[in-house]
Structure 1
Amino acid sequence: MTNLPDVPLPSAIRSRYVENINGLAMHVLEAGFETRGRPCLLLLHGFPELAYSWRKVMPALADAGYHVMAPDLRGYGRTTGWNASYDGDLAPFRLTNLVRDTLGLVSAFGYRAVASVIGHDFGSPVAAWCALLRPDVFRSVALMSTPFAAPPSLPFDTAEKPARPHPEDPVHRELAGLPRPRKHYQWYYSTREANADMHRAPQGVHDFLRAYYHHKSADWKDNKPYPLKSWSAGELAKLPTYYVMDLGKTMAETVAAEMPDAAAIAANKWLPDRELAFYSEEYTRTGFQGGLQWYRCGTSGAFNAELQTWSGKTIDVPSCFISGRQDWGTYQRPGVFETMQTTACTRMLGCHLIEGAGHWVQQEQPEQVSRLLLKFVKQAREGVSA
C-alpha cells in the first residue's frame, strides 16, 4: 500500500496501518492521538463508504478529548487480508467475525474498553452486535441510519408441536409479480453480477457513486420517508428505487436516472467532486465485492443459527439512534425502528432525525452529528437518563 496516494484528510487526522488484526492489516484513521490516556471512540462505516466517511466529525470528537479511530472495515479500502471471491468462504464476513475484527483493533491500541462504538449504515448492525456481545468492552453504542431489531429468535415451545421448516419468503416472488416488477436491493447485491454492474458501470465508477450518493441524500427532493405498514410487496414498492429496484435494472442503471446536473454537482458542499474522487479511486482499485459479501451473509441466512445463540438478548448499555430526517433507511424494514426503541435496546437515551440530511448523515450534517454524539457519550459516561 506504500505506493498509494495519501488520503486527503484534515490536518487533525492521520492515516496508518495496524498489522495482525484477526488476519487483517487494517487501515485506520486516527484523531486525538497526540496524548495518551484519552477515552476511545470507534467509528464503523457502511456501504459504499470507507473510514474516510468520518473525516468531518473526527476532529470535533478529538477536540472534546477523545481518541477517535475509524478503520476501513473487512472488505473495504486499504485494509488487506480479506478475499472477496464470489465463490470463496463467506464466513469471515459474518457479523460475529466483524465483531472480532473490532475487538482486535481496540486491543491492539491498548484499550480494554471504549467509551462508545458508533456505526453508520452496515456499520450500525456491527456496532450493535459489539454492544450486545461485549458490553464490558463497548460501554455505549450509537446506531446511525440503520435501526437494530434484536437477534433472530429460536423456535419456541415446539416439543409437542414441532416447528415446520421455515418457508421461503414470498415477498421476492410477489415483488417480481407486481404490475411494475421490482426486486429488493439487498438480494440484488447478493447476486454474482452486482459487483461488475457497479465496478464496470457504463457511466464509470465516479459518476455511479455521484448518482448513488445523490439519490440517497437530502438533495434528492423525493426522499420523504414514512413508516411502512408491513413487509409485503405492496408496501415495499413504496420505497425509492435504490432500495426496491425495477426488476430488469442494475444499480448503475437505477441511479443514472437521478444523476444531478453539472450545476448541482458544482454546488454540492457536503461531497464536492474532489472528495468524491477519493471514493471513486478506491472503489475503482478494489471493486465492491468486499462490501457485498456482508449482504450475502444476511440474505443467505447461512449464519442465522449462530446468531440465534443470543436469541432474546438485548442491548443493555446506553444507546442512541441518529439518522437524517430524509433517510428512508430508518423505515426500510417495517417495525424495526419501533422495536429498537421498545424492546431491542433497554437504555436508549434518544432518537434523533436530523433535518436536511438523507442517508449520509455524518457527511451531510457533520456539525449536528458531532454535537449529538458528544452529548450522548457524555450522558452515557455520566449515567444520565434520557
Structure 2
Amino acid sequence: MAASLIDPLPQAVLPAGIRSRFVDTTNGQRMHILEAGDASGSAGTVLLLHGFPELAFCWRRLMPLLAQAGYHVVAPDQRGYGRTTPDPVSYRDPVEPYSLLRLAGDVVALLGGLGLDSVAAVVGHDFGSLVAGTCALVRPDLFRRLALLGTPFAGAPALGTRLAGAPEDDPIHRALLALPSPRRHYLLYYAGPQANQDMGSCPQGVAAMLRGYYHHKSADWPGNHPQALEAWSAEELVRMPAYYIMPADRTMAEISAAHMPSGEQIARCAWLSEADLGFVAAEFSRTGFQGGMHWYRSAMRGDMARDLGLYAGRQVECPVLFLAGAGDWATFQSPGALEAMSARLAPTPITPHFIAGAGHWLQQEQPTAVAERLIPFLSR
C-alpha cells in the first residue's frame, strides 16, 4: 500500500528552533525528520535515532542544546514510525524490511538524501542504539563517533562464532512459563500477534496507556533500582519489573494501567507535558505500534544475529560513548551485555556513564545532563 501523504509537524507542537520536514532518501523513502541548528556550520551533523515506543519527537529537549553548541542536529522518524510510515503496518506485512541491516541502510540513505558525506556522530537510544551501533560498525567512513543511550550494543560476534538458534526458540521462555507465577519475556510478547491490538485498542486509550508505560520505566517510578543479573535464568530475570518480565496473563496495556501515575505525579512531571504526550499518542493512534514491533519480530526470529554475523570479527573504529539512566533496567536486562560491549565493541574498553535522576527515557528526563556528557565527547 502506498504511503499516505501527510504534512510536516505544525510548528506549534515543536520547541523553538526545531523544524519539521521530509527528505527523499536515496533508497526511495520519504523520511520525516526534525532538524535544528545550521546545516552549513563547521561543527558537523549529529544524527539521533529513537527507540520504542518513541518518535523523532522524543529528542525535542536535547536537540536545542546540541544546536546551541554549534551542531546541525537531525532526528528522523525511523521506518515503521510516525510520519515516515504514516499508514498502519499489519502483522501480516513482510518483516524483512525491518532487519537491522535494512534499518542501518535507511540511515545511510538519509545521509544521501541530505547531501552529507559523513556525520560528526550517530546517537541511538533503546533499539535505536542497536541501529546506531550497526551504522558505525559497517560504515566507519560515514559515522565519526558513536553514542549509545541505555541499551548496550556488543557489536559483531568473534570470528568463528557459531550462530545460536532464534531468540524466540530460547528455552528461557518455557522456563519463565514454568515459574510458580508464570511469566513471559516482553520481547516475545512484542513479537507476537496480539501486542499491537492490546496497546493500540486498550480500554484506557493510547494516551493513558503511554503515560503509564513511560512513568513505569522512568526515574519517577520508585521501583526502578537496576542491578546486574547473575545469569540468564528465569529465577534471575524475574528480578526485573513487569514491563520486562510480564505476568503471563497480563497485557502491556494492563501493566501500564496498574502503574498509572496519580494526577499529582502527572502535574509534577516536567519532562512529559500533557500536550507533548497528546501529540505522541495521536501519532501512535494513527499508525498503531506494529511498525516498531516488526523490529522486534525480526530480531526474535534471528535476523539480527545473522546480520551481525556477516561482520564477525569486526570492531567499531570510532570513539564510543555509553550513557544510561541510573534508574534504567535496560542496561542490565541481558546479563553480561554491558561487559561484552566494553570488551568487544571497540579496540579500547568502554566505560559506562550513569545519569542520576533518569530512568529509561534519559534524553527526555535529564537532557541537560546528557548534553553535558555528549558535547565534550563530540568536541574531543
**Could you tell me how far apart the structure 2 residues matched to 1:113 and 1:186 are?**
33
**Could you tell me how far apart the structure 2 residues matched to 1:343 and 1:287 are?**
36
**Structure 2 counterpart of 1:227, one-letter code:** A
CA deviations on 1:251-284 (whole Å, 9 max, x unpaired) are: 0011111101111111111111111111101001
Corresponding residue for residue 19 of structure 1: 24
| Contact 1:318/1:349, CA 8 A, preserved across alignment | no
Judged with a 3 Å threshold, the aligned counterparts in structure 2 of structure 1 residues 165 and 75 are, in CA distance, closer, same or farther, namely closer
Cα deviation for residue 85 of structure 1 reads 2.3
**Structure 1 counterpart of 2:219, one-letter code:** A
**Structure 1 counterpart of 2:115, one-letter code:** G
**Could you tell me how far apart the structure 2 residues matched to 1:297 and 1:112 are?**
29
| Contact 2:226/2:327, CA 8 A, preserved across alignment | yes
TM-score between both structures, scaled by the size of structure 1: 0.92
Corresponding residue for residue 103 of structure 1: 108
Cα deviation for residue 4 of structure 1 reads 7.1
| Contact 2:343/2:350, CA 8 A, preserved across alignment | no
CA deviations on 1:99-140 (whole Å, 9 max, x unpaired) are: 111111112212111110000001000000000000110011
**Structure 2 counterpart of 1:337, one-letter code:** L
Cα deviation for residue 20 of structure 1 reads 3.7
SS in 1 for 2:310: helix
**Could you tell me how far apart the structure 1 residues matched to 2:39 and 2:323 are?**
29
Corresponding residue for residue 297 of structure 1: 298
Cα deviation for residue 45 of structure 1 reads 0.4
Corresponding residue for residue 373 of structure 1: 374
Cα deviation for residue 294 of structure 1 reads 0.3
Q: Percent identity?
A: 48
Corresponding residue for residue 353 of structure 1: 354
Of residues 100, 121, 125, the one that matches 2:126 is: 121
CA deviations on 1:339-367 (whole Å, 9 max, x unpaired) are: 11122222456421001000000000000
Judged with a 3 Å threshold, the aligned counterparts in structure 2 of structure 1 residues 374 and 165 are, in CA distance, closer, same or farther, namely closer
Q: How many residue pairs get matched?
A: 374
| Contact 2:98/2:294, CA 8 A, preserved across alignment | yes
**Could you tell me how far apart the structure 1 residues matched to 2:231 and 2:225 are?**
18
CA deviations on 1:216-272 (whole Å, 9 max, x unpaired) are: 000000100000011111111111000000001100011111101111111111111
Corresponding residue for residue 6 of structure 1: 10
SS in 2 for 1:310: coil
Of residues 78, 86, 94, the one that matches 2:99 is: 94
**Could you tell me how far apart the structure 2 residues matched to 1:123 and 1:166 are?**
21
Corresponding residue for residue 50 of structure 2: 45
| Contact 1:118/1:141, CA 8 A, preserved across alignment | yes
Judged with a 3 Å threshold, the aligned counterparts in structure 2 of structure 1 residues 164 and 234 are, in CA distance, closer, same or farther, namely closer
**Could you tell me how far apart the structure 2 residues matched to 1:53 and 1:81 are?**
17
What is the RMSD computed on CA atoms of the aligned residues?
A: 2.0
**Could you tell me how far apart the structure 2 residues matched to 1:301 and 1:346 are?**
26
**Could you tell me how far apart the structure 1 residues matched to 2:59 and 2:8 are?**
20
Unaligned runs of 5+ in 2: none
Cα deviation for residue 298 of structure 1 reads 0.6
| Contact 2:87/2:286, CA 8 A, preserved across alignment | no
Judged with a 3 Å threshold, the aligned counterparts in structure 2 of structure 1 residues 300 and 70 are, in CA distance, closer, same or farther, namely same
Judged with a 3 Å threshold, the aligned counterparts in structure 2 of structure 1 residues 349 and 12 are, in CA distance, closer, same or farther, namely farther
Judged with a 3 Å threshold, the aligned counterparts in structure 2 of structure 1 residues 173 and 81 are, in CA distance, closer, same or farther, namely same
Unaligned runs of 5+ in 1: 380-386
Corresponding residue for residue 198 of structure 2: 197
Corresponding residue for residue 68 of structure 2: 63
**Could you tell me how far apart the structure 1 residues matched to 2:312 and 2:367 are?**
35
CA deviations on 1:164-191 (whole Å, 9 max, x unpaired) are: 9789421100000001110000100001
| Contact 1:314/1:346, CA 8 A, preserved across alignment | yes
Corresponding residue for residue 316 of structure 2: 315
